[in-house]
Chains A and B, each alone.
Chain A
Amino acid sequence: MAISASDIRSALSLPGPSAPSAPQSTLRKAQSQSTSNKPANNFTKKPEGISRELYALIGPSAPSLAAHLAKPRLKQKPNLGGGGKVKWEWRPFKNGARGDSLRLSHWAKEASDSDAEYPFVKYNIQSTPFTYSQDEYTRFLEDRDWTKEETDYLFNIVKEYDSRWYIAHDRYDYPEGPVRTLEDLKDRYYSVCRKLIRSRPWAGDESSKAQFLSSYMFDKEREVTRKGYIASLETRSQAEIAEEEALFIELKRLEQNERRFKKERDELLRTLLGVDSGLPDVIGEEDGPAGLVGEPSSASVKKKKGVKGTIGIGDEVPTTPSVISLGPPVPRRPQSAKSAAQDAIHCIYRSDPPASSTTVQKNTHVPAHLRSFKIPLPKTAIAPKVTQALTELGVQHARLVMPTRENCLQMEALLDAATALVETKKVVDRVEQETRVLRVRLGVRSSEGAEGNEPDDVEKEGDEGTPMEVEEGKEEDGRAQSVVSTRSGRGRKQSRRSISVSSIDTSASLSTRAGMKRQKRS
C-alpha cells in the first residue's frame, strides 16, 4: 500500500516534486524551472477521459487512442413539442359516466377542444351483474350451505359494492346466517356465476365462452392456503428469518458444489475416454435446456449410459435422469400440422378415439349417412314453438343450404339457444299464471276481510284477472312474444322430417305436389 509522494502529487495535479519546497529561493527557482519543463511533457498534455494511471503507462505517445477515449458526452436532448409555452386553463367538463348533473372542472390545454368527450369515461366499466330466475336456481344453483335468500342477499350486496370484496364482506350481515369468511362469499358468488354461464346459451364462439368462464374462476382451497402462507410469512420471528436465510445460503452453496463436481467429472471422463464417453462437447450449467432443444433424447440417454457404465458415481446419477425426464416431448403435433392440409383436401376429420371404448365402438359403428341427417331435433313437446321462433328469424330448421360440418354445428347451437328461449318463456307463463291465481286469491281475501287497504291494487287485479287481457299485453311486447302466444298446429311439419331433411321443396310446392298426385291418380 505504499503510495509514493509522486503519485499523490500527480493525482492532485500538483506541480511536481517542487512542492516540498526548500527554503532556499534559488534552489526553488531552479527546480521550478526544471519542473515547469517536466509537466509540459508529463501531465499538462494528459487528455481528458483517460485515467492517470493509464496515461502513466502509455505515455503521450498514443494520441490516437486518447481521441477514442475522450469522455462521452450526453447526447443533445431532442427538441420535442416545439418549445413554445403551453397555456392551460381551468374549465368545467362534462363527465359522461356521471348519472347526476354534478359539474367538475379541470385543467386543460387551451388549444384542446372544449367539447371533446371526457377521455376517462371509457374506464367506467360496470361489471355484468348476474341475476337468476327461481327456475334456474332450483335446477343448477342449490347448495346445502346456502339458502336462496342468502344467495340473493349476497348478490345484492356484491352488486351494491360493485364487487369490492373487502367492503362487501365487511358489510355482509345476513340475519341468522352462519358466519361467512371472505372466501366463502367469493366462492359462492363465483361458482354461481360459473354455473349460470355454463348453463346459458352463449352468443359468441366456444373460445370466448371459455375465456369468459375463466375470468370467474375461484379456487377457495388455494386462496385459503395462499392467505395462510402469507400470514405465516408475516409472523416469522427474527430468529426464524435468520435461520431461513442461512438455510438458503447453504442450499445455494450445495447446488454450486454439485455443479462443480459434475463439471469436473465430465471433464475427467472426456479426458480419459474421449469420444467413447459419449458426452456432448458443450457441457455446463446450460446443458439441460440446450441438450433438450438440440438433440432430444438420444444424446441424453447415451450420456446416462456412459455415466452408468464407466464410473459408478452413485449420488451423481440421479441428477441426469432428472434432465431426461423432461426430455420426451411427444412429437405428434408437427406431424398432424403437416397433414392437416392433406386432410382438408381429402375431407378427413380426425377425432381422438375415446381411450377405453374401442370394443364398444365396434358395436356402435356409425353407418354412412348424409350430413344433414344428423341435425338434431328439438324436443317433441316444444318443437313447434322452436321451429316457429327460428322461422321468424328467417332460419328453416332442419334445412341447410350447405350442411357442412361447421354449419351443422352452428345449427345445433342455434337450436339449443332457441330451446332455452322457449323454455324460459314457458316458465314465464307459469309464473304469470301463478301470480294471477295468487292475485285473485289475495283479492278475494282482502275483499272478504273488508280491509281494502289497497283499493288500487284490487282494481288492477280485476283488470288483469281476465286471461284475454294478459294475452294482448304480451302481443304488444313484440315479435318473439308471439312465439309463445300463438298456438299453431305445426305438428305436421315435424312428422315428415325425413322429407324435409332430404329435399329442398317448400311447403308451398308440397301442396302442389299433393294436388299433382291426385291429378295423376285420377
Chain B
Amino acid sequence: MAERVRVRGLVIHRPVIYGNTATVLTPKERESLSFPDHTHRWTVAVRSAASATDSDIVGGADDLSYFIKRVTFKLHDTYTNPTRHVDKPPFEVSETGWGEFEIQIRITFIAESGEKPITLYHHLKLHPWTTTGDPEIPSLENAIKLGPVHSWQYDEIVFSDPFQSFLTILTDHPPTSLPKAKRKPVPFHVANPASLEASKGGVPEFTTEMEKEEAGRLEAARKAVVAEQERWRGILIEKEKELERLQAQLPS
C-alpha cells in the first residue's frame, strides 16, 4: 500500500464530452417498432473529447474505461428499466422516443482513484437547433431533411492530488489531443449561437480552435464590461460632486 500516497499540488484532468445524437425515424422503421408513437432514435453517451480520424460519431477517440468503471444513465420513468448501467465501453445508451427530457448521468471511477462518483445532467435533444431558441418543433419531414441532431457538451474531469497508482494509470493513457484546425462542422452550443451555421453539414468535431474562439469572446466581453465600468465610475463621481454641493447648501 505504499502506492496509496497522494501526489500533492498536482491536478490532472481528462477531457470528455457527453450528450446525444438523434435521428428521425423513417415511417418504415416506425412500423417495425413496438411503440408506434416514437419518432426518433437517439444515443446518449460519455466519450473522450477527441474524435477518431475516420469515425462517424462525435468524440470517442480514446477508450475511457481505464479510469471510468461504470456510467449510469437515468432515463425518463416511462422507459422500461429507466436506470441503465453501462460497465463496458462504449458508455452509451441507444433508445427510441418522441420527447426530450433530462437524463441523469452518473460516472463511477475505478477503485484506484479513490474518488466518489460524479453526477451530471444532459438534456436529451431531439429537435434541430434554432438561433432564436424558439420552442417550435418542425414537422418530421423537415427534421429528416435537416439530418441528425447533435448536442454535446465538452468538459474536463478534474482529479486533484491523485493517488500515485491512479496517476500512473492516467499517465499511461494520455488522451488524444484535440485537432488544432477545423476539419468537420463545429458542435453547436447555446453559449455560442453564432456557431449554428458552422455546425451544419455532418458529424461535428471538437477542436482547440473552439477554445481559443471562446477565450476571445470572453475577453472581448470583459473589456466591454471594464470600459462600461469606467464610464459609470465617471458618472458616479460627478453625481457625488453634485450631492456634495447640495449638502454644502443644506446647513446654510
Contacts and interface: CB of A to CB of B under 8 A. Distances in A.
Interface of A: 131-135, 200-203, 345-353, 358, 361-362, 365-372, 374, 389-390, 393-396, 399-407, 410-411, 413-414, 417-418, 420-421, 424-425, 427-428, 431-432, 434-435, 438-439, 441-442, 445, 480, 498-499, 502-513, 515-517, 519-520
A507 B121 contact: no
B103 to A, nearest CB: 9
B12 to A, nearest CB: 5
Given A370-B155, A372-B155, A421 B229 contact: yes
B225 A414 contact: yes
B236 interface: yes
Contact of B116 (A368, A374, A399): A368
B226 A202 contact: yes
Given A133-B233, A203-B226, A406-B211, A428 B239 contact: yes
A441 B243 CA distance: 13
B157 interface: yes
Interface in B40-97: 76, 78
A404 B156 contact: yes
B122 to A, nearest CB: 5
Give the 8 A-B CB pairs with smallest separation, nearest first: A505-B123, A508-B133, A353-B9, A516-B99, A368-B115, A366-B160, A371-B156, A203-B226
A436 to B, nearest CB: 10
A192 B57 CA distance: 57
A351 B158 contact: no
Contact of B102 (A369, A434, A513): A513
Contact of B101 (A366, A393, A513): A513
A399 B13 contact: no
Interface string B214-239: 11011101111111110011111101
From A374, A417, A519, residue with most partner B Cβ within 10 Å: A417
Interface of B is mostly: mixed
Contacts of B10: 348-351
30 contacts: A132-B237, A347-B14, A349-B10, A350-B9, A358-B8, A365-B160, A367-B115, A367-B160, A368-B113, A368-B158, A370-B155, A372-B155, A399-B191, A405-B13, A406-B211, A414-B225, A420-B229, A421-B225, A421-B228, A421-B229, A425-B232, A435-B242, A439-B246, A499-B102, A503-B153, A504-B19, A505-B125, A508-B134, A513-B102, A516-B101
A347 B226 CA distance: 32
Nearest to B234: A131
A347 B175 contact: yes
Size band of the interface chain B makes with A: 35 or more
Interface of B: 6, 8-15, 19, 76, 78, 99-102, 109, 113, 115-116, 118, 120-123, 125, 127, 130, 132-135, 137, 151-161, 170-171, 174-175, 177, 187, 189-193, 195, 206, 210-211, 214-215, 217-219, 221-229, 232-237, 239-240, 242-243, 246-247, 249-250
From A403, A439, A509, residue with most partner B Cβ within 10 Å: A509
B225 A393 contact: yes
Contact of B218 (A365, A411, A432): A411
B135 A424 contact: no
B221 A511 contact: no
B214 A401 contact: yes
B113 A394 contact: no
B120 A133 contact: no
A395 B8 contact: no
B239 A394 contact: no
Given A347-B13, A370-B158, A131 B214 contact: no
Contacts of B122: 502-504
Given A353-B9, A401-B214, A509-B123, A368 B159 contact: yes
From A369, A435, A513, residue with most partner B Cβ within 10 Å: A369
A431 to B, nearest CB: 5
